């Protein structure tokens, strides 16, 4: 796959990248340097030390860091744009569980579906993703194979659930844990860019016993965790009924060792977090996967992103396919901006709407932080870059690179993505 010797090369063109929440940088004519897979910075002229590196010119292109999707369900890919008149619980029962269950029953269906999902990520602007598969660990491996084949960097989770799921899909506690361990042993040493992440689906479908078992695995194997939290009012009420002894919804994860601290954790949605839960997320370094498109589609609500950012909580963006209808993080940035405006207008006028630079930060550096040094063109960061072309997005105006990028976020699709690099490997 490697096109450049030792992954040493220079990309030349307009460059836009984020250095912080409201710190969008741009160069009209810049050089982004990749030195053995790591970024060596962005320059107006090629520094002496890199004069012999090959230069790839993108005269009409814009070079940006790769996008990061912190929350997406690969096994819901076939359901995109379906069932959007339902709310979460009904949507899970009628649409989502039957589809996910099919992956274990029909392996060909699973392999082809996962392949289509992986291909969609590959041709779009996303370079890194944190992914839910299904409860079936064998086909989860197929998904991991498909993502690894394409050179993307991902965390993938076999879903765990042992209650409140229809008979055709539920696991016993024992089987859920045993299959998770089998899956982990099969994953061990198999991939370069594809990593396992423990995935209790959410508290309504996971007994305390299962959560405790997963907490032990997280500690024993040093694994990260992903789940859902405070997404929908009925779900929140249900958790209160199911777990009356827990201090909060967040506590149902915390008490099993599945909520930050030494265990890197992503919680999707977080719309209805209490003050105590917000403080807990901050103190334990839990990441919020903000999924605004999904929150609109299945009428979950609007997450208080500004509040999270003001608290210093880690926030990234999640497409949450198929709650979200699109696997594009650009689409998600747009939804994040738009829904933050409705929050400001209708819910709390002290919480300023997200700006474009802020949304771009969330979809790159914000989520990228979960992967380590990733999401920007800072020196020493892993080199993920995407080339965008916007000549089909007609305008008579002369625009800055940042303005062109803003139009791309609102108007583009996969056809505007013409080049991609991950960890210094040229994918296309």
Question: Residue 201: which of ligand GUN, Fe ion, none does it interact with, CB under 5 to 8 A by kind?
Answer: ligand GUN
99 binds Fe ion (CB under 5 A): no
Give the sign of the dihedral formed by CA 396, CA 397, CA 403, CA 404.
positive
Residue 173 near residue 209 (C-beta atoms within 8 A): yes
Q: Which residue lies nearer to Fe ion by CB, 266 or 268?
A: 268
Q: Which residue lies nearer to ligand GUN by CB, 96 or 376?
A: 96
With CB under 6 A as the contact rule, the residue among 103, 169, 183, 202 that binds ligand GUN is 202
158 binds ligand GUN (CB under 6 A): no
User: Cis bond leading into 322, ω under 30°?
Assistant: yes
306 binds ligand GUN (CB under 6 A): no
The C-alpha atoms of residue 172 and residue 348 are separated, in whole angstroms, by 44
Q: Which residue lies nearer to ligand GUN by CB, 9 or 169?
A: 169
Q: At what angle do helices 173-187 and 137-149 cross, to 10 degrees?
A: 30
251 binds Fe ion (CB under 5 A): no
323 binds ligand GUN (CB under 6 A): yes
Residue 258 near residue 267 (C-beta atoms within 8 A): no
Question: Residue 280: which of ligand GUN, Fe ion, none does it interact with, CB under 5 to 8 A by kind?
Answer: none
Residue 28 near residue 14 (C-beta atoms within 8 A): yes
With CB under 5 A as the contact rule, the residue among 136, 320, 331, 406 that binds Fe ion is 320
Question: Residue 120: which of Fe ion, ligand GUN, none does it interact with, CB under 5 to 8 A by kind?
Answer: none
With CB under 6 A as the contact rule, the residue among 231, 251, 277, 406 that binds ligand GUN is 231
Residue 156 near residue 196 (C-beta atoms within 8 A): yes
The C-alpha atoms of residue 71 and residue 293 are separated, in whole angstroms, by 12
384 binds Fe ion (CB under 5 A): no
73 binds ligand GUN (CB under 6 A): yes
The C-alpha atoms of residue 157 and residue 132 are separated, in whole angstroms, by 5
Piece of 62-70, 88-96, 115-123, 334-342 that binds ligand GUN (CB under 6 A): 88-96
The C-alpha atoms of residue 141 and residue 147 are separated, in whole angstroms, by 10
Question: Residue 96: which of ligand GUN, Fe ion, none does it interact with, CB under 5 to 8 A by kind?
Answer: ligand GUN
The C-alpha atoms of residue 125 and residue 146 are separated, in whole angstroms, by 17
SS3 label, residue 312? coil
Q: How many CB atoms lie within 10 A of CB 174?
A: 12
Binding to ligand GUN in span 256-295, by CB under 6 A? 294
Q: At what angle do helices 97-105 and 107-123 cross, to 10 degrees?
A: 110
Question: Residue 406: which of Fe ion, ligand GUN, none does it interact with, CB under 5 to 8 A by kind?
Answer: none
Q: Which residue lies nearer to ligand GUN by CB, 239 or 386?
A: 239
103 binds ligand GUN (CB under 6 A): no
228 binds ligand GUN (CB under 6 A): yes
In whole angstroms, the minimum distance from the beta carbon of 98 to ligand GUN comes to 12
Q: Residues near 62 by Cβ (< 8 Å), separated by ≥ 6?
A: 13, 14, 15, 16, 387, 388, 389, 390, 401, 404, 405, 408
Question: Residue 39: which of ligand GUN, Fe ion, none does it interact with, CB under 5 to 8 A by kind?
Answer: none
With CB under 6 A as the contact rule, the residue among 69, 320, 331, 425 that binds ligand GUN is 320
Binding residues vs Fe ion (CB under 5 A): 268, 320
* Residues binding ligand GUN (CB under 6 A): 73, 88, 92, 96, 201-202, 228, 231, 294, 320, 323
């Amino acid at each position: 796959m490697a096109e450049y010797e030792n992954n040493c090369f220079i990309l030349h063109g307009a460059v836009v990248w984020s250095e912080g929440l409201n710190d969008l940088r741009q160069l009209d004519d810049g050089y982004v340097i990749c030195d053995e897979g790591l970024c060596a910075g962005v320059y107006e002229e090629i520094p002496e030390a890199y004069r012999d590196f090959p230069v790839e010119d993108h005269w009409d292109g814009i070079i940006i860091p790769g996008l990061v999707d912190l929350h997406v369900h690969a096994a819901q890919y076939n359901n995109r744009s379906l069932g959007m008149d339902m709310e979460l619980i009904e949507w899970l029962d009628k649409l989502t569980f039957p589809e996910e269950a099919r992956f274990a029953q029909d392996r060909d269906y699973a392999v082809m579906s996962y392949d289509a999902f992986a291909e969609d990520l590959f041709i779009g602007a996303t370079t890194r993703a944190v992914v839910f598969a299904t409860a079936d660990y064998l086909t989860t491996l197929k998904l991991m194979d498909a993502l690894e084949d394409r050179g993307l960097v991902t965390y993938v989770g076999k879903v765990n659930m042992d209650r409140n799921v229809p008979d055709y899909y539920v696991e016993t506690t024992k089987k859920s844990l045993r299959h998770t361990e089998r899956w982990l042993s099969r994953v061990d040493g198999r991939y370069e860019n594809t990593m396992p992440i423990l995935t209790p689906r959410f508290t309504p479908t996971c007994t305390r016993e299962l959560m405790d078992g997963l907490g032990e695995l997280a500690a024993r194997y040093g694994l990260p965790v992903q789940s859902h939290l405070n997404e929908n009012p009925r779900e929140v009420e249900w958790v209160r009924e199911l777990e009356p002894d827990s201090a909060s919804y967040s506590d149902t994860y915390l008490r099993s060792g599945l909520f930050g601290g030494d265990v890197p954790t992503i919680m999707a949605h977080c719309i209805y977090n209490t003050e105590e839960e917000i403080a807990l997320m901050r103190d334990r370094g839990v990441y919020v996967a903000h999924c605004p498109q999904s929150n609109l589609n299945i009428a979950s609500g609007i997450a208080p992103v500004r509040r999270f950012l003001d608290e210093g909580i880690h926030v990234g963006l999640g497409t949450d396919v198929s709650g979200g209808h699109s696997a594009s993080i650009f689409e998600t940035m747009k939804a994040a901006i738009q829904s933050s405006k409705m929050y400001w207008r209708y819910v709390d006028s002290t919480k300023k709407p997200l700006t474009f630079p802020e949304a771009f930060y969330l979809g790159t550096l914000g989520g990228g932080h979960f992967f380590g040094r990733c999401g920007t063109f800072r020196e020493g960061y892993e080199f993920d870059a995407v080339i965008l072309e916007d000549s089909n997005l007609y305008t008579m105006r002369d625009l800055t690179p940042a303005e062109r990028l803003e139009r791309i976020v609102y108007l583009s699709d996969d056809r505007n993505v013409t080049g991609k690099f991950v960890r210094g490997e040229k994918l296309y």
